């Protein structure tokens, strides 16, 4: 097993691009291990509806990245106190993969540090009934990634705030995250250590089984290819938000002008259908608004742009534009 040096990068989009690049292009005759730590971010599962998983307002205000990964499963929060491990190996041929094979060595090292970690369910690692790690897998062709988080000293109040969703009625076939009680590994250590020391102990522990330790440094050309994958995929709204399974939103609110009831259907991240109902006395037909919105990405900035020239008062009487935009976008 060769250890991949990520050169200390903490941009989640770059780290996920590096991981996917290694999966697809590195030597298939050997296994690799990669560690990465991300600055504050939410990492969404492959088949999730991003908007259903995040607190958009909080994320915008606090500059938290939102990135979709290639593996399935739920949404997790990362910060500099969370260490990710990733095994890149040949596919073991099983359709429902064997998480145990990859979590067992990590659990063994944690146990040796005096932390009573155990695998629970199919893919969570728990200590005292609290989750300290979530794992996921992805395979393509001959190769697969088995990766997981390790909450070491993450800011736990951020986890709940960033993942708390405010959106009213939203319906989709997207994979829903499974909320758990979480804890940091550092709470269970008798002698406090730094993240750097934890990382090194984990690395040494994982290699204990006698294998020679070899580190791989990417060439300049390989880094360039990783940056290209980042730019072509992980940096894009289309991948992080647009790729969500189709969903629909129903929102209604009573204003002084009357009640407005809104139904929006979103496919591939774009509004495919929109209906505005209400008991207001509009002067102009609301179908004008509906047609302005069709085809627009379901995104605050894009919706605001699409309705830039709309005079809300001509349709709803005494209603502020901001109130209408908030209704469409889901801010209460
Ligand atoms: N960082 C982290 N680690 C463990 N558990 C977390 C974390 N952040 C949030 N949570 C809790 O897990 C649930 C979601 O659990 P759920 O089981 O739905 O999803 C997962 O575990 C996915 C793990 C993906 C691991 C990848 C490895 C490298 S990149 S991300 C969430 O609602 C919180 O309660």
3-class secondary-structure state, position 248:
strand
Q: So what's the pLDDT on residue 332?
A: 58
pLDDT at res. 96? 57
- Which residue, 79, 151, 87, is CA-closest to 115? 151
Q: Is the model more confident about 33 or about 95?
A: 33
**66, 76, 83, 150: which to mutate for ligand 1, most atoms within 8 A of CB?**
76
Ligand 1 atom with minimal separation from the 69 CA: 29
Q: How far apart are the first and last CA of the chain?
A: 51
Report the separation in Å between the CA atom of 76 and the middle of ligand 1, taken as the mean of its atom positions.
4
Give the C-alpha separation, 193 to 187, whole Å: 11
Which range scores top for mean pLDDT: 157-161, 249-253, 259-263? 157-161
Report the predicted TM-score, pTM, of the whole model to 2 decimal places: 0.89
pLDDT of 331 > 70? The answer is no
In testing the pocket of ligand 1, which one of 71, 149, 150 has its CB within 8 Å of the most ligand atoms? 149
Strand pairing category for 143-151 and 82-90: antiparallel
What confidence score (pLDDT) does residue 282 get? 62
3-state secondary structure (DSSP) of residue 17: helix
Predicted confidence band of residue 256 (pLDDT cuts 50, 70, 90): confident
Has residue 185 got a pLDDT over 80? yes
Give me the residues paired with residue 253 across strands: 260
Residue 91 is predicted with a pLDDT of 85
Atom of ligand 1 nearest to the CA of 43: 30
Pocket lined around ligand 1, Cβ cut-off 6 Å? 43, 69, 73-74, 76-78, 82, 84, 131, 133-136, 147-149, 151, 159, 163, 177-180, 182
Which whole number is the average pLDDT over 145-170?
88
pLDDT at 251: 87
Rounded Cα distance, 246 and 48, in Å: 10
CB contact at 8 A, 166 and 330: yes
Q: How far apart are CA 314 and CA 171, in angstroms?
A: 31
Alpha carbons 123 and 120: distance in angstroms, whole number:
7
Measured in whole angstroms, how far is the alpha carbon of residue 107 from the centre of its chain?
24
Q: Ligand 1 centre and the CA of 306: distance in Å? A: 35
Q: Report the 10 Å Cβ neighbour count for 321.
A: 15
Q: Which atom of ligand 1 is nearest to the CA of 148?
A: 27
Report how far residue 307's alpha carbon sits from residue 325's, in angstroms, rounded to the nearest whole number.
9
Q: Answer yes or no: is pLDDT of 68 > 60.
A: yes
Pairing of strands 130-140, 124-127: antiparallel
CA of 326 to the centre of ligand 1 (A): 30
| Residue with the two structure tokens 């791989």 | 216
Whole-number Å distance, alpha carbon 89 to ligand 1 midpoint, is 22
Ligand 1 centroid, distance to 170 Cα (angstroms): 22
E-state strands within 110-236 = 117-120, 124-127, 130-140, 143-151, 169-172, 214-216
User: Who has greater pLDDT, 19 or 93?
Assistant: 19
ipTM value for the complex: 0.99
Q: What distance in Å separates the CA atoms of residue 34 and residue 84, rounded to the nearest whole number? A: 8
* C-alpha span between 73 and 138 (Å, rounded): 10
């Amino acid at each position: 097993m060769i250890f991949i040096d990520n050169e200390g990068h903490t941009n989640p989009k770059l780290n996920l691009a590096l991981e996917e690049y290694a999966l697809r292009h590195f030597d298939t005759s050997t296994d690799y291990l990669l560690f990465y730590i991300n600055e504050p971010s939410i990492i969404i599962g492959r088949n999730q509806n991003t908007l259903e998983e995040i607190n958009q307002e909080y994320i915008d205000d606090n500059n938290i990245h939102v990135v979709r990964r290639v593996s399935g499963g739920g949404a997790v929060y990362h910060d500099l106190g969370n260490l990710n491990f990733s095994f890149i190996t040949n596919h073991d041929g099983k359709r429902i993969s064997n998480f145990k094979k990859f979590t067992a060595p990590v659990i063994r090292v944690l146990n040796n540090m005096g932390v009573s970690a155990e695998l629970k369910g199919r893919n969570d690692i728990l200590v005292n009934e609290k989750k300290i790690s979530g794992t996921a897998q992805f395979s393509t062709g001959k190769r697969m990634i088995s990766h997981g988080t390790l909450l070491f000293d993450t800011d736990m109040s951020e986890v709940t705030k960033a993942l708390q969703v405010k959106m009213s009625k939203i319906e989709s076939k997207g994979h829903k995250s499974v909320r758990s009680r979480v804890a940091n590994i550092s709470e269970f250590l008798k002698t406090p250590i730094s993240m750097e020391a934890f990382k090194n102990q984990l690395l040494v522990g994982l290699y204990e089984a006698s294998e020679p330790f070899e580190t791989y440094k990417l060439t300049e050309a390989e880094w360039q290819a990783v940056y290209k994958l980042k730019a072509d995929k992980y940096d894009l709204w289309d991948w992080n938000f647009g790729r969500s399974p189709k969903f629909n939103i129903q929102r209604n609110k009573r204003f002084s002008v009357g009640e407005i009831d809104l139904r929006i259907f979103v496919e591939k991240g774009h509004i495919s259908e929109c209906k505005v109902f209400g008991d207001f006395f509009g002067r102009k037909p609301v179908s004008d608004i509906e047609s302005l919105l069709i085809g627009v990405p379901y995104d605050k900035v894009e919706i605001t742009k699409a309705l830039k020239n709309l005079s809300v008062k001509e349709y709803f009487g005494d209603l502020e534009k901001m109130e209408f935009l908030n209704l469409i976008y889901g801010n209460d």
